[in-house]
Amino acid sequence: MADGALIIIGGHEDKMGERLILKEVARRLKGGRLVVCTVASHEPDGYFDAYRKAFSGLGVDDLVEIYVDERAESWDADKLSPFENAAGVFFTGGDQLRLSSQIGDTPIERSVRRLYERGGLIAGTSAGASVMSETMLVKGPAEESYRIGELHMAPGLGLLRDAIIDQHFAERGRYGRLLGAVAHNPRLLGLGVDEDTALVVEGRRMTVLGAGAVYVVDGEAATHSNIAEGQADDALSLFDIRMHVLAHGDGFDLDARRPAAAARDTAD
């Protein structure tokens, strides 16, 4: 069976009002079970209840929380069985390094991957969005330009190949660090997702959903960067980046690296 879908959310998705993004999650679950994985949080109390409330009335009644305090628990049978008949997983926010270090290369990760491979939905918000990257952003400067050496990256779950995801993007002024990440290796397409905004990925095709924008940073045609020869405190120098600002309804082809505008008559 073909891979399922990813819903990559930039954090702070609407949980009380129109709930555009959560509705899309619910629609794709078709009444099936959603595993809410709160592992990214050091202090998970309240996360699960918040999502139970947020999903109420949307037809998502079979919600199960998975949390692991220590990595060793990722082998526990009772943490794995909820995935068996699940229709989707939702990674909540927190620290993406907790997600990758606690569940990376464990049976829980393999359960997530199998669910995806049999056509399931993998959604994640904030840290849960970042972790879907192949190489993921962990920490970096906000509200300042990128300086060489200031970025902390790590291997992510790799559900989305050839891309690096950042979240809370415009709200936390993370342009500099995403440009810095792309400068390291333009093979990775930079994807900056605003709050209350999501990328819905099916195969190699993405669509934007929500109130903000998604920034696509394409370094393929870049002609110069000082990232290898600069000093640690030097500001980044990087020429000929192609950038796209995508809004609700806009699409993007990850293989062709080309955007497609929302059809006007279907825009809402």
> Using CB under 8 A as the criterion, which residues of the chain lie in contact with its own copies when the complex forms?
143-146, 169-173, 175-176, 179, 194, 197, 211-213, 224, 226, 229-230, 234-248, 250, 259, 261-262, 264
Whichever of 80 and 235 has its CB closer to its own copies, that residue is 235
Contact of 35 with 86, CB cutoff 8 Å: yes
Q: Are 73 and 37 in contact (CB under 8 A)?
A: no
- To its own copies, the closest distance from the beta carbon of 249 in angstroms equals 8
The string of DSSP letters for 174-197 reads -HHHHHHHHHH-TTSEEEEE-TTE
Nearest distance in Å: CB 14, its own copies: 14
Number of Cβ atoms within 10 Å of the Cβ of 56? 11
Measured from the CB atom, is 42 or 224 closer to its own copies? 224
| Least distance in angstroms from the C-beta of 100 to its own copies | 27
Query: Least distance to its own copies from the beta carbon of 26, Å?
Result: 23
Smallest distance from its own copies to CB 209, Å = 11
Catalytic position from the list 111, 126, 130, 225: 126
Q: Which two tokens stand for residue 45?
A: 């109390």
Q: How many other CB atoms are there within 10 angstroms of residue 71's CB atom?
A: 16
SS3 60: coil
**Residue in 117, 144, 202, 220 annotated catalytic:** 144
To the query of whether residue 134 is one of the catalytic residues in this protein, the response is no
CB nearer to its own copies: give 72 or 245.
245
Cβ closer to its own copies: 50 or 261? 261
Judged by DSSP in three states, 228 sits in: coil
> Is the CB of 109 or the CB of 250 nearer to its own copies?
250
Cα-Cα-Cα-Cα dihedral of 92, 95, 96, 97, to 10°?
Answer: -140
Strands 86-91 and 63-66: unpaired
**184 annotated active-site:** no
Burial classification of residue 23, based on how many CB atoms lie within 10 Å of its CB (0-12 exposed, 13-18 middle, 19 or more buried): middle
Rounded to a whole number of angstroms, the minimum distance from the CB of residue 244 to its own copies is 5
Phi and psi at residue 162, to the nearest 5°: 60, 30
Q: For its own copies, give the closer residue by CB, 63 or 247.
A: 247
Number of other CB atoms surrounding residue 70 within 10 Å: 7
Q: Are 156 and 136 in contact (CB under 8 A)?
A: yes
Spatial contact of 213 and 167, defined as CB atoms under 8 Å apart: no
| Active-site option among 24, 41, 168, 195 | 168
Is residue 56 among the annotated active site residues? no
Question: Which residues are catalytic, by number?
Answer: 126, 144, 168
